[in-house]
């Protein structure tokens, strides 16, 4: 066999064998990876809409998915808004829980972020950021308190404390929360956030 045809045969064989091996590995792990993602989302929904026993995806677009959290009888308890927006270094993905009227935020959970460790990454910290999102009035756009208030009692019902040294990360979360709330409200007014199936009210 000439050298060039031997080269072609070897490279093709290596490529085909590698491809076949990888496709079987991909097939074996695909389900589990999808399941992991789904589990993570379910856990976050339960966290931000307390009492949820089942959920339903009500609306989906590229960087915004809205879930309805339901109790055992299938009645809607609140919305869980899964949104992604620009952060300081990379996108920040969170799950935001609201009541049915979209006037009150239950709580916020950060799912993915690559902010600066020790500074912006504090957005995942309960003590320095997340607790300010609990039970907030969101009937009007939320705002940031800067410089940060020393105690949560000083904040108005629609104010969030800024993380000292991480204004950009705090603002990034706030802006995505506000814009996703506006969008969710629009969708709700257009009647696009209805539960489907036998659980519909």
Partner 1 sequence: MPARTASEDFTKGLWKENPVFRHLLGMCPTLAVTNAMINGLAMGLATTFVLVLSSLVVSSIKKLIPSQVRIASYIVIIATFVTVADRFLAAFFPPISKNLGPYVPLIVVNCIILERQEAFSSKNTISRSLIDALGMSLGFLIALLVLSAIREILGSGTFFGQQVLGTWFEPWIIMVLPPGAFIALGILLGLANKIEEKSKSRR
Please identify, using beta-carbon distances, which residue of 102 and 109 lies nearer to partner 1.
109
Calculate ∠ Cα 134-180-194, nearest 5°: 95
Please identify, using beta-carbon distances, which residue of 118 and 197 lies nearer to partner 1.
118
- Residue 187 C-beta: closest distance to partner 1, Å: 29
**Cα–Cα distance for residue pair 20/129, rounded to 1 Å:** 48
Main-chain phi, psi angles of 61, to 5 degrees: -140, -175
Please identify, using beta-carbon distances, which residue of 7 and 182 lies nearer to partner 1.
7
Alpha-carbon dihedral angle through residues 169, 173, 174, 176, given to the nearest 10 degrees: 130
CB 89 within 8 A of CB 116: yes
Please identify, using beta-carbon distances, which residue of 27 and 198 lies nearer to partner 1.
27
Please identify, using beta-carbon distances, which residue of 22 and 182 lies nearer to partner 1.
22
- Residue 36 C-beta: closest distance to partner 1, Å: 5
Please identify, using beta-carbon distances, which residue of 84 and 179 lies nearer to partner 1.
84
- Residue 116 C-beta: closest distance to partner 1, Å: 7
Residues that bind partner 1 (CB under 8 A): 3, 6-7, 10-11, 14-15, 18, 21-22, 25-26, 29, 32-33, 36, 40, 112, 114, 116-119
- Sheet-wide strand order for 54-61: 54-61, 64-70, 76-86, 91-98, 104-112, 136-137
Main-chain phi, psi angles of 4, to 5 degrees: -65, -40
- Residue 188 C-beta: closest distance to partner 1, Å: 32
- Residue 166 C-beta: closest distance to partner 1, Å: 12
Please count the helices (runs of H) and the strands (runs of E) in the chain.
2, 8
- Residue 156 C-beta: closest distance to partner 1, Å: 31
Point out which residues pair with 129 in neighbouring strands.
none
């Amino acid at each position: 066999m000439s050298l060039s045809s031997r080269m072609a045969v070897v490279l093709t064989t290596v490529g085909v064998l590698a491809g076949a091996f990888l496709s079987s590995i991909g097939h074996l792990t695909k389900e589990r990876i999808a399941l992991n993602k789904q589990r993570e989302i379910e856990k976050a929904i339960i966290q931000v809409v307390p009492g949820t026993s089942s959920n339903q995806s009500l609306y989906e677009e590229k960087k915004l998915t809205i879930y309805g959290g339901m109790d055992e009888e299938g009645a809607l308890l609140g919305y869980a808004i899964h949104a992604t927006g620009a952060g300081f270094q990379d996108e920040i993905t969170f799950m935001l829980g609201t009541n049915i009227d979209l006037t009150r935020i239950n709580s916020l959970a950060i799912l993915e972020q690559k902010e600066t460790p020790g500074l912006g990454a504090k957005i995942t910290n309960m003590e320095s950021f997340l607790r300010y999102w609990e039970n907030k009035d969101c009937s009007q756009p939320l705002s940031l308190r800067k410089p940060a208030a020393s105690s949560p009692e000083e904040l108005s019902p629609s104010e969030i404390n800024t993380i000292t040294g991480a204004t950009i990360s705090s603002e990034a979360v706030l802006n995505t929360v506000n814009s996703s709330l506006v969008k969710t409200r629009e969708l709700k007014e257009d009647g696009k956030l209805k539960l489907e199936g036998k659980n519909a009210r």
